[in-house]
Amino acid sequence: MRILVVEDDKDVASFVVKGLREAGHVVEQTPNGRDGLFMAASESFDAIVLDRMLPGGVDGLRLLETLRAQDNHTPVLFLSAMAQVDDRVRGLKAGGDDYMTKPFAFAELLARVEALTRRGKTDTPTTRLVTADLEMDLLSRTVKRAGQKIDLQPREFRLLEFLMRHAGQVVTRTMLLEGVWDYHFDPQTNVIDVHVSRLRQKVDKPFPIALIHTVRNAGYMLRVEEA
């Protein structure tokens, strides 16, 4: 995937670029808002990682607003040190698809960027999600594994749905909290882990192969273990 990183801090930029390239993405990078706008408008990217405070007269918000005004809907993830709730709201209102505050864990950034690109692709509403022998019917709200029906609580269903929509991607605890519960805070207790482990009891335990994996220092991933 082609990703544009607009970030003026050299260390952060090179760290992000290196990490994204290692994850197999093609990355363009500029430290300057004006150039960033030019590149974003003239080339095609799958996602943009955008700092808010940028040199060159065009800051992140202006860049994004201009881009959206040109009917460019490339997914944008804000990466900013401005951490207040209002800043976040402003960023999302301007057309941002996600908002991360610095300092950040790269795993989280990668997970979110990949989630954004995925979101961009699945525009057509799906009614069925399938990963290996796990099937989810979104209309009848039923889940089957190896043809066997699995009973899930509504919240467990949504948790599994989120994991399945991001199958093959790392999903962090924060993403789960935001995506499944719509909470924007960081609980001190391991509430997410408990819910995931409950889900595992139902989805993985009775079957020989586990689908929900823990990714150390990052979160979870639903994927088929390569043999």
Partner 1 sequence: MPDAAGGETAADAAAGDAVADAAGGGAAGKPAGIDRPGRLARWRRWNRAAPSPVAEEEVPAPNFLRSAAVRFGVIYAALFGISAIALAAFLWWSTAGLLERQTDAAILTDSLGLTERFAEGGPKALVETINDRVLGNVDDDALYLLVDSASQRVAGNLESWPLRMAMDEDWDELRIERAGVASLARIHYFELPGGFRLLIGRDVELRSQLRVMMADAMFWAAVIALILGTIGAWAVRGLFRSTIADVSATAMAVSAGDFTRRVRIAGHEDEFDLLAETINDMLDRISSLMDGVRQVSNAIAHDLRTPITRARTRLEDAAIHATTEAELRAAVDRAMLDLDGVVSVFQALLRIAEIEAGARRSAFAPFDLAPLLTDLAELYDAAAEERGVRFQTSIPATLPSFGDRDMVQQAVANLLDNALKFSPADTTVQLTASLTPGGIAIVVADQGPGIPPEDRNRAAERFFRGESARSTPGSGLGLALVQAVAHLHGGSLNLDDGAPGLHAVLTLAGRIKPEAPRSITIASK
Interface with partner 1 (CB under 8 A): 83-86, 89, 101, 103, 105, 155, 181, 183-191, 194-195, 197-198, 217
Smallest distance from partner 1 to CB 103, Å: 5
Smallest distance from partner 1 to CB 198, Å: 6
Residue nearer to partner 1 on the CB measure, 34 or 198? 198
Smallest distance from partner 1 to CB 188, Å: 4
Kindly write down the DSSP assignment for every residue of 139-178, as one continuous string. Answer: TTTEEEETTEEE---HHHHHHHHHHHHTTTSEEEHHHHII
Q: Find all residues with CB under 8 Å of 66, minimum gap 6, and list them.
A: 37, 41, 58
Spatial contact of 137 and 127, defined as CB atoms under 8 Å apart: yes
Residue nearer to partner 1 on the CB measure, 12 or 58? 12
Q: Is the peptide bond before 103 cis (omega within 30 degrees of 0)?
A: yes
Alpha-carbon distance of 121 to 136, in angstroms, equals 19
Residue nearer to partner 1 on the CB measure, 84 or 122? 84
Smallest distance from partner 1 to CB 225, Å: 24
CA distances from 189 to 37, 107, 155, 185, 217 (A): 41, 21, 18, 12, 16
C-alpha R_g of the chain: 19
Smallest distance from partner 1 to CB 167, Å: 23
Residue nearer to partner 1 on the CB measure, 158 or 213? 158
Residue nearer to partner 1 on the CB measure, 38 or 106? 106
Q: Find all residues with CB under 8 Å of 114, minimum gap 6, and list them.
A: 23, 166, 169, 170
